[in-house]
Amino acid sequence: MTVATPNDPLLMLRQLRCIRDDRVLFSELALDLAPGEIVQVTGPNGSGKTTLLRIVSGLSLDFEGEIVWSGIAVEQNRLAYQQDLLFIGHQVGIKAALTPEENLRAVMGMHGQFKKEDIHDALSRVDLYGFEDVPCYQLSAGQQRRVALARLHLSRQRLWILDEPFTAIDRAGVKALESLLICHAQRGGMVMLTTHHELGIQYQGLKRLDLAELLSASDHPFAVEAV
Ligand SMILES: Nc1ncnc2c1ncn2[C@@H]1O[C@H](COP(=O)(O)OP(=O)(O)OP(=O)(O)O)[C@@H](O)[C@H]1O
C-alpha cells in the first residue's frame, strides 16, 4: 500500500489541451499542486488564464486531458472535488441589491451553516465592519471585491482558485490578502490564482505557470518552475 505524505500532490493536471476559436491556448499542460503550495498562473491578456481556471474549477468541460484530485480522476469524483474547492471569479459575483451579510449567507449556504457572528467576523476581516447591512450597490468597487473575498475567511475548502483577486483592492488590502494566501497554504491548503499584479510574497511554496512560455515550448514536456 502507498502511504500519502504531506508533500504528495493532491491536484494533478495531466496533458491539458484547450482550443478556443481554432486557437490552441495551451497544450501538454501539466501541473502538480501539493498541500502548502500556491501557483500563480501568468501570461498576457487572452493567453488563457481564466479559461484554465474555469476548466480546473469544473465550470468548463471543453478541454482534453485529465484532472486528478486526491488520486482519483475528477470526472469520477466530481462531487467530492467540488466540495473541496472554492472558486472566486474575476467578476465579483455578488448581488447588488443584497447586503454583504445576505450575499455571504447566500453564497456560503451550500457549504454549510454559518452563524451571524461568523459572517460579521469575516466581513470585519476584510475591513467591512459597519457595512454588513448596506446594500452592495452603495459600496465602492474595492468594497464589493472585499465582500467576495470575505468568503475566504469562512472557507473550509482546501483548494482556492482565484481569478484576479487583487483587482480594485488597495495596498493594505493586497498585503492582507497575500498574507491570507500564505496562511492558507501553511495550514495545508492550496491556491491557484491569476494576477497581473506582482506578488510581494517570499514563500518557498510559490510556483509560477506561464502560459506564454508553455505555448512556445509546447512540443516539449512542461515543468512548472519554482520561483
Ligand atoms: N467560450 C469561449 N468561446 C470562444 N472563445 C473564448 C471563450 N472563452 C475564452 N475565449 C477566448 O480564449 C482566449 C483566452 O481568454 P481568457 O479569458 O482565458 O484569457 P486571459 O489570459 O484570462 O486574459 P486576461 O488577462 O485578459 O484576463 C481569448 O482570446 C478569448 O476570447
Q: Which of 16, 17, 18, 21 has most ligand 1 atoms within 8 Å of CB, for mutation?
A: 21
Task: Give 143 or 197, the one with higher predicted confidence.
Answer: 143
Of 202 and 13, more confident: 13
By most ligand atoms within 8 Å of CB, the mutation choice from 20, 26, 29 for ligand 1 is: 20
| Distance from Cα 5 to the centre of ligand 1, integer Å | 36
- Cα–Cα distance, 28 to 221 (Å, whole number): 7
Mean pLDDT of 73-101: 94
**179 vs 91: CA distance, rounded Å:** 22
Residue owning grid cell 470585519: 124
Cell numbers placing 23: 486557437
Nearest protein Cα to ligand 1, atom 29:
46
Residue of 178, 130, 124 lying closest to 154 (CA atoms)? 124
What one-letter code names the amino acid at 43? Answer: G
How many beta carbons lie within 10 A of that of residue 204, not counting itself?
A: 9
DSSP state of 190: E
3-state helix, strand, coil in the chain (%, to 5): 35, 25, 40
Predicted confidence (pLDDT) per residue in 160-185, tens digit = 999 999 999 999 999 999 999 999 99
Q: How far is the CA of 89 from the centre of ligand 1 (A)?
A: 13
Give a yes or no: residue 149 inside a domain. Answer: no
Answer yes or no: is pLDDT of 6 > 70: no
The rounded distance, in Å, linking the Cα atoms of 82 and 93 is 18
Please tell me whether the interface predicted TM-score (ipTM) of this complex is above 0.90. yes
For 7, 133, 186, 209, the CA distances from 35, given in Å and listed in that order, are 6, 36, 8, 17
Whether residue 105 lies inside any domain: the answer is no
Is the residue at 202 inside a domain?
Answer: yes
With respect to residue 115, please indicate whether it lies within any of the assigned structural domains. Answer: no
Instruction: Confirm if 133 and 147 have CB atoms less than 8 A apart.
Output: no
Q: Cα(200)–Cα(216) distance, rounded to whole angstroms?
A: 27
Predicted pLDDT at 222: 44
CA atoms 107, 111, 114, 118: torsion sign: negative
The answer to whether residue 77 is domain-embedded is yes
Checking if the pLDDT of 99 tops 60, the result is yes
- Residue closest by Cα to atom 16 of ligand 1: 48
The pLDDT tens digits of the residues spanning 26-52 come to: 999 999 999 999 999 999 999 999 999
User: 201 exposed, middle or buried (CB, 10 Å; 0-12, 13-18, 19+)?
Assistant: middle
Residue 210 lies in a domain: yes
**Residue 105 identity (one-letter amino acid):** R
Structural domain including 34 reads: 11-95+156-226
Give the CATH number of the domain where residue 222 resides.
3.40.50.300
Q: Where are the alpha helices (DSSP H) in 111-199?
A: 116-125, 141-154, 171-186
Residue 151 within any structural domain of the chain: no
Q: What is the number of domains present in the chain?
A: 1
- Percentage of the chain surpassing pLDDT 70? 92
Domain membership of residue 120 (yes or no) is: no
Considering the chain, what is the average pLDDT of its residues?
91
Q: Is the CB of 167 under 6 A from ligand 1?
A: no
Residue 5: helix, strand or coil by DSSP?
A: coil
